[in-house]
């Protein structure tokens, strides 16, 4: 066979291969675009349902739905204090748990006088491990707890390599960020199940969704809380218990004082009070949410970026396959 004929045959084979892969890429692109458009529509509807509609139609009666008393851990500063105040604003009596008696007394008195609700407090240092819970059990005995907010948490002083952390820091992170939520739920959940109503809010973090180098164990502890919350929801939803995982992005509190940027309130960095007013409104509506509409936008954009990266990898793989089919065959 002449060389020209062999070249023509090869050219036809390459053309057919190109046509197939171009069509395949077009189908993949169209499928991706449609899927993303549908996802964006559903995400937009979810944000409206979660953050806008309750403001228009009126918020739920939290006391009637869940009960008269709420327990909030880590409640003398930041999100915990602001969340307790938001619940009190809606008529819920508050039990505060933290390690500083002076701060507890001040916050308890302030909430009681401002919102005209009953308040109480329990002094407990969650970094002490199991010994902290006997006082909590005694303090909550015979109390009809309707809402539990597991907010207490420990953050890094500054981002650092895992091997530079002390053993004390490792144990404190486990005891405060992980063990506290387990034990608090174990204490109050039986009473909720008996009444067939109640709500548990575990304050996780957006860092649970992606690995966080230099904040390794903090991100891992928040991933645990998120998984724990979602699993509990499916276990106890049929028993009348609502379990929510809050996954906020950065909130301007003392916890992030290591950064001069994130510690100041801005468009995407709300104050604890601003965040809590939105987060409480999502209670009973979403089992997993950033809790704040601007953070929901960040979460959606982050998902789109990840999906786009995945799609780019798929296209690269298809392109490599196409290239390899066009390589000349060597005997």
**Beta strand 288-289 pairing with 93-98:** unpaired
Strand partners, 122: 97
Backbone angles phi, psi at 300, to 5 degrees: -65, -45
Of 288, 243, 306, 297, which is closest to residue 270 (Cα–Cα)? 297
Tell me which residue has tokens 């809606």. 90
Of 227, 100, 211, which is closest to residue 152 (Cα–Cα)? 100
Point out the catalytic residue in the list 115, 156, 218, 236. Answer: 218
> DSSP assignment, residue 328?
P
Residues 96, 107 contacting (CB under 8 angstroms): yes
- What gap in Å lies between CA 280 and CA 203, rounded to an integer? 12
Tell me which residue has tokens 């809010």. 201
218 in catalytic set = yes
Q: What residues are annotated to the active site?
A: 218
């Amino acid at each position: 066979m002449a060389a020209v004929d062999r070249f023509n045959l090869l050219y036809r084979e390459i053309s057919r291969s190109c046509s197939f892969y171009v069509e395949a890429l077009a189908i993949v692109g169209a499928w991706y675009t449609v899927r993303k458009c549908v996802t964006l529509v559903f995400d937009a509807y979810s944000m409206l349902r979660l953050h806008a509609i309750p403001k228009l139609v009126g918020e739920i009666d939290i006391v009637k739905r869940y009960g008269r008393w709420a327990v909030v851990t880590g409640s003398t500063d930041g999100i915990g204090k602001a969340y307790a105040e938001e619940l009190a604003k809606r008529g819920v009596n508050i039990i505060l748990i933290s390690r500083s008696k002076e701060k507890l007394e001040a916050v308890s008195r302030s909430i009681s006088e401002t919102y005209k609700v009953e308040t109480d407090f329990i002094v407990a240092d969650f970094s002490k491990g199991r010994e902290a819970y006997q006082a909590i059990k005694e303090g909550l005995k015979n109390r009809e707890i309707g809402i539990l907010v597991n907010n207490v948490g420990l953050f890094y002083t500054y981002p650092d390599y895992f091997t530079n952390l002390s053993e004390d820091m490792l144990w404190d992170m486990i005891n405060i960020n992980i063990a506290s939520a387990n034990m608090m739920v174990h204490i109050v959940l039986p009473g909720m199940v008996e009444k067939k109503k109640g709500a548990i809010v575990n304050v996780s973090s957006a860092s649970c969704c992606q690995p966080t180098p230099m904040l390794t164990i903090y991100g891992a502890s928040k991933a645990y809380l998120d998984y724990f919350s979602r699993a509990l929801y499916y276990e106890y939803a049929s028993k009348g218990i609502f379990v929510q995982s809050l996954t906020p992005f950065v909130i301007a509190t003392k916890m992030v004082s290591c950064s001069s940027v994130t510690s100041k309130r801005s468009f995407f960095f709300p104050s604890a009070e601003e965040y809590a007013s939105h987060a409480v409104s999502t209670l009973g509506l979403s089992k997993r949410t950033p809790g704040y509409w601007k953070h929901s936008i960040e979460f959606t954009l982050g998902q789109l970026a990840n999906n786009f990266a995945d799609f780019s990898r798929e296209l690269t793989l298809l392109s490599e396959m196409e290239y390899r089919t066009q390589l000349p065959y060597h005997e």
